[in-house]
Amino acid sequence: MKKIAKHNIIAVLKAWAKDHTVIAPQRKDHDEIAFDTFDEASFTLEYTKSSVSPKQALFPQNEVIFRIEDGTYRQVTDEKKRLLFGIRPCDMKALLQSRDFMSKDFKDVYYEARAQGAATVVMACAGPQSPTCFCTTTRSGPWSDAGYDLQLTDLGDSFLVEIGSAKGEALASSELFSPIDDAEAGRLLAPLRKEAEERIPLVPQVLEVMEKLKLSGVPDDAWEYFGNKCINCGGCSFVCPTCTCFNIFDRVVSEGNGERIRSWDSCLYAGFTKEASGHNPRGTQGLRIKRRHEHKLLYHNDRKTHGAVSTCVGCGRCSDYCPVHIGTIEVAKHLTEKKS
Amino acid sequence: MAKVSTICPFCGCGCNFYLVLDEGKITGIEPRPNNPVNKGMLCAKGWNSHEFIDSPQRLKTPLVRKNGVLTETTWDEALDLVTSKLSSIRDTFGSNSLAFLSSAKVTNEENYLLMKLARAVFKTNNVDHCARL
Amino acid sequence: MTNSINEMDDADLFIVTGSNTTEQHPLIGTRVVNAVERGAKLILMDPREIPLARYAHIHLRQNIGTDVAVLNGMMNVIIEEGLLDKEYVDTRTEGFEALKNTVSKYSPRVVEQISGVDASDLVEAARLYAGTKKAMILYAMGITQHTTGTDNVKTVANLSMLTGHFGFPSVGVNPLRGQNNVQGACDMGGLPVVYSGYQKVDDPAVKKKFEDAWGVTDLNDKPGLTITTMMKAAEKGDLKALYIMGENPMLSDPDLGHIELSLSNLDFLIVQDIFMSETAKLADVVLPAACFAEKTGTYSNTERRVQIAHKAVDPPGLARSDWEIIQDISNRAGYPMNYANTTEIMAEINKVTPSYAGITHSRLEKVFGLQWPCPNEEHPGTAFLHKDKFTKGLGTFLPCDFKPLAEVPDSEYDFILTTGRVYYQFHTGTMTRKIDILEREAPKALIEIHPDDAKRLGIRNNDLVEVSSRRGTIRLKAEVTPRVPRKVVFSTFHFSETPVNLLTNAAHDPVSGIPEYKGCAVKIRRIA
């Protein structure tokens, strides 16, 4: 393991930025923080979690996947080298799950190209990043156990640096990183991790509702309470780090020229499952919300989740950005508190 | 990547969000959690509002009707024609033969300027917009 | 809005009338839903069973166009039962006796006859509103798009003044504006009677002020034409040239057949837009403009909050910002304009517009918007209006009597058509119809018809029907749903394939000029 002084972080980021597009927490107007291209002047280490997950770097909301130019097709893949600095352990877990999913039955060449070019520098959490964090319940934080290139843990004036890959080894090879004895590092980490874990409250209802779903213990009409409130914004899917559904559409640019674009889609939109006949197998908003939560908390839990209990990684963004409080936490609490 | 703060172009709520760019091309929307209007939340229109910006159907060139057909032209030709027509109609039929519709979609600054053009330059109060519609 | 959006989080009661808030102002509508979930009450007045109806404690489904009667009925109950805020009425209002006389005619029984609203529901709604201090009224075009729109608005104001519901946090009357900058377009003087900041064109002092500020003489002091009267003037040949910036009257205006005649009758039509709209197709000159993402400038939202948006990308091709185009025309017309950017234009707005005096671009970079009135650079902006006293002094009760729709159903045209928007599309669809997911969710207009009516006419879901008014005919698919009351059909004006405004009535409110989109007589029959 290695260590790096906090005052050297900027120097390291600048070095990385020479051959990567570094995406890091940046102070924007009105003192708001967003993940954006690294700029020394507005870079900050005082941040919580990003509003949209880092999936946006590997799976942008809109992406041209091929072009038709004068009658010929050209596949468009993005092989740019990106370095995602300061992503949170829950998001790291999501990136691992998504990469598996995107290459499971059919290799998504567009995602894979971006994923191969991406380096990940995880920032372990010292506690919840917002009141909606529940990664300790889903076993996807507050630190990463594998899959990262580098993981940083805050030691006050410095960061402890764990190296998770050969790519990470190369990233941490400069003299700004000083070696630290592994046993010594372990002694430093253990109490910090214990403390971090204790600070993030467990939400046992999430596990309870997972059990209930498995036993088909949630009747369809229980979901209509949420269906009535939902305004079909799609935001929960868009901010979710493990949602990867997309819509495909073509655009004519000019005579003989066009492009095929994929864009984030949401199973909360009726048209997502509506069939050409007009029939919709998920015909009510309640059933669509049911499907979304089954997808997160039931269908894929026996799949490779990289150690998490589900394909929900407990980031809490669906609670943060739902205008009517239909986040996973609220859903779990509602469905377990009600006698149903 | 770049993120530029903006205001939703649809209803009157005035939701704040970032436009997300990659290599100068708009690729999506990101919430701005701290603003008092929408606190990061958006509706389906807001979440998808970036998509019409680079539509191939956007108007890209001034058009002037020639022999009954709208035909591509230069800004100079289009604006010379606009100015001479507005001026000659005003001179022949008076200021109140002209009217201007400003827009509930453009900025305050632009609405002010169109209002000023109508009143200060062409001396008409025939200025309205679709507030009623 | 006289209040701020955030004040909704503390309100104990909402009256929502003529607003499908969760679909048309979603981030305001969800505040209502969340408020109801925390215990606030909701009185909904809407003929349609809109999504908010699920949260309403009382849903008054009045017959279309009977808003004045219903609101007068509530005031009748409030006065009869002594539930008015007497101190407020005595100290802050005038004209109470006249109001009392008018509303005395609107007993719950009479109102039930006119509006179809159950008398006991009306009484309950009146008691609930009068008895709740922190009560906010939200309304939108369902109130204003009537030939009695001004009467509707006055009557809403009467109700809230009678019960002291004005001028406090979370207490007030809140029109919801339907476009991102309709508030700003009004504020900036995009109206025939006022300069920016609602300074009247026929006030000699105002005229002098703008002549000095702009360095011109002979500013016109006669009020100009509204959009509706412009179209009439064009049809008659009195209006020769029209310059349209970012509007699409060929889909948005009532009685489209006449609009097309009017626009075609012009000597010269200039359309400045981002897409080839139905209106642009008729133009003599089309000027390509930048869209919101391609320029820096400010927009004023429904709560009077002026916010800044920043340029993210260059406009496509040769397209330019609207202000640059206007400036070029002005320079060619011999009146020099030399603004380097919109910040400089805003500096001029600050100088000539008292309510915007303190709203500078540099301040807007530091705060999340400023709410006018904001009279100087130290002023924090104004969260709610009419604190301590009305802007004009005492609030005057302006009693109104119920008047029916301009066009009521008869034996031939036996349905009322009411129009509005759907959630996934916006206005004339020029923007949202270019967005693939939104177009997938709402690809075409449907006409909503009640199951009882549908059965009688042999119409099933998705059948093609023909809908005709005295002005035109369109064909579209039916959606059979109890969302609409019996003898009422609803459709939307987003779609140029089925321009519902071919049917609507151009009859308009005599004061505001707003056409009666919310009710005209039609007949309907099944085609296939």
Strands C297-300 and C285-288: unpaired
- What does the pLDDT average to over B31-42? 94
Task: Give the ipTM of the model, two decimals please.
Answer: 0.97
Between CA B80 and CA C419 the distance in angstroms is: 41
Cα distance from C25 to chain A (closest Cα, Å)?
11
Between CA C285 and CA C278 the distance in angstroms is: 14
Structure tokens at C98: 């006249």
Q: How confident is the model at residue A340 (pLDDT cuts 50, 70, 90)?
A: very low
Collect the ranges in chain C with pLDDT lower than 50: none
pLDDT at position C139, please?
95
Task: Answer yes or no: do C440 and A323 touch at CB < 8 A.
Answer: no
In the predicted structure, residue A116 carries a pLDDT above the cut 70: yes
pLDDT at position C250, please?
86
Look at chain A and count its residues.
Answer: 340
Q: For chain A, which chains pass the contact test of at least 3 CB pairs under 8 Å?
A: B, C
Residues of B whose CB is below 8 A from C193: 125
For the stretch B66-75, what's the b/e string if a residue is b when 16 or more beta carbons lie within 10 angstroms of its beta carbon? eeeebeebeb
Q: Determine which of B13, B20, B52, B55 to mutate to test the interface with A (most A C-beta atoms within 10 Å).
A: B20
Q: Is B22 domain-assigned? A: yes
Rounded to the nearest angstrom, the gap between the alpha carbon of residue A120 and the centroid of all alpha carbons in its chain is: 12
Total number of domains in chain B: 2
Domain C415-526, CATH number (from 2.60.120.620, 3.10.20.340, 2.40.40.20, 1.10.3720.10) = 2.40.40.20
Q: What is the pLDDT of residues A220-269, one digit of tens each?
A: 889 999 999 999 999 999 999 999 999 999 999 988 899 999 999 999 99
Is A153 in contact with A143 (CB distance < 8 Å)? yes
Radius of gyration of chain C (CA): 24
Between CA A144 and CA A142 the distance in angstroms is: 7
Between CA C143 and CA C518 the distance in angstroms is: 9
Residues of C whose CB is below 8 A from B83: 329, 332-333
Radius of gyration of chain B (CA): 19
Strands C58-60 and C473-480: unpaired
Residues of A whose CB is below 8 A from C368: 30
Task: Answer yes or no: do B34 and A30 touch at CB < 8 A.
Answer: yes
In terms of residue numbers, what domain contains B31? Answer: 2-47
Cα distance from C512 to chain A (closest Cα, Å)?
33
With a CB cutoff of 8 Å and minimum separation 6, the contacts of C199 are C189, C206, C209, C210, C353
CATH of the domain at B12: 2.20.25.90
Q: Is B72 domain-assigned? A: yes
User: Shortest CB distance from C299 goes to which of B14, B41, B101?
Assistant: B14
pLDDT at position C257, please?
87
B94 touches chain C (CB under 8 A): no
Residues of A whose CB is below 8 A from C37: 229, 325
User: Shortest CB distance from A232 goes to which of C29, C33, C423?
Assistant: C423
* Residue labelled with tokens 């559409």: A249
Q: Hey, what's the torsion of the CAs at B49, B54, B59, B62, to 10 degrees? A: 120
* Residue labelled with tokens 């005595």: C90
Task: Answer yes or no: do A323 and C441 touch at CB < 8 A.
Answer: no
Q: Is B120 domain-assigned? A: yes
Residues of C whose CB is below 8 A from A278: 462
pLDDT at position B132, please?
67
Q: In chain A, which residue's Cα lies nearest the Cα of C461?
A: A278
Task: Answer yes or no: do A324 and C368 touch at CB < 8 A.
Answer: no
Q: Is B10 domain-assigned? A: yes
Statement to judge: residues B71 and B115 lie in one domain: yes
Q: Is B57 domain-assigned? A: no
Statement to judge: residues B17 and B71 lie in one domain: no
User: Shortest CB distance from B44 goes to which of A30, A32, A234?
Assistant: A234
Domain C182-371 has CATH 3.40.50.740: yes
Give φ, ψ of A263 to 5 degrees.
-140, 150
Q: What is the pLDDT of residues B56-84, one digit of tens each?
A: 999 999 999 999 999 999 999 999 999 99
Is C449 in contact with C484 (CB distance < 8 Å)? yes
Between CA C475 and CA C445 the distance in angstroms is: 10
Amino acid identity of residue C52, one-letter, is L
Statement to judge: residues B42 and B68 lie in one domain: no
Statement to judge: residues B128 and B68 lie in one domain: yes
Is C395 in contact with C166 (CB distance < 8 Å)? yes
Cα distance from B31 to chain C (closest Cα, Å)?
13
Between CA A245 and CA A264 the distance in angstroms is: 6
- In chain A, where the domains are located: 2-199, 205-337
Residues of C whose CB is below 8 A from B111: 181, 184-185, 188-190
Range with lowest mean pLDDT among A215-219, B48-52, C143-147, C415-419: A215-219
In the predicted structure, residue B102 carries a pLDDT above the cut 80: yes
Between CA C242 and CA B90 the distance in angstroms is: 12
Q: For chain B, which chains pass the contact test of at least 3 CB pairs under 8 Å?
A: A, C
Cα distance from C450 to chain B (closest Cα, Å)?
26
pLDDT at position C358, please?
97
Sort A194 into a burial class: Cβ within 10 Å, 0-12 / 13-18 / 19+. Answer: exposed
Q: What is the pLDDT of residues C320-346, one digit of tens each?
A: 999 999 999 999 999 999 999 999 999
Between CA A171 and CA C132 the distance in angstroms is: 64
3-class secondary structure per residue, chain A? CEEEEHHHHHHHHHHHHHHCEEEEEEECHHHCEEEEECCCCCECCCCCCCCCCCHHHHCCCEEEEEEEECCEEEECCCCCCEEEEEECHHHHHHHHHHHHHCCCCCCCHHHHHHHHCEEEEEECCCCCCCCCCCHHHHCCCCCCCCCCCEEEEECCCEEEEEECCHHHHHHCCCCCCEECCHHHHHHHHHHHHHHHHHHCCCCHHHHHHHHHHHCCCCCHHHHHHHHHHCCCCCHHHHHCCCCCCEEEEEEEEECCEEEEEEEECCCCCHHHCCCCCCCCCCCCHHHHHHHHHHHHHHHCCCCCCCCCCCCCCCCCHHHHHCCCCCCHHHHHHHHHHCCC
Q: Is the peptide bond before C373 cis (omega within 30 degrees of 0)?
A: yes
User: Shortest CB distance from A324 goes to which of C34, C437, C441?
Assistant: C34
B115 touches chain C (CB under 8 A): yes
Between CA C334 and CA C445 the distance in angstroms is: 47
What DSSP state is assigned to residue B132? G
What DSSP state is assigned to residue C168? B
Is A50 in contact with A241 (CB distance < 8 Å)? no
Q: Is B7 domain-assigned? A: yes
* Residue labelled with tokens 């070029």: C328
- In chain C, where the domains are located: 5-176, 182-371, 415-526
B20 touches chain A (CB under 8 A): yes
Amino acid identity of residue C411, one-letter, is S
Is C213 in contact with C176 (CB distance < 8 Å)? no
Task: Answer yes or no: do A61 and B27 touch at CB < 8 A.
Answer: yes
Domain C5-176 has CATH 3.40.50.720: no
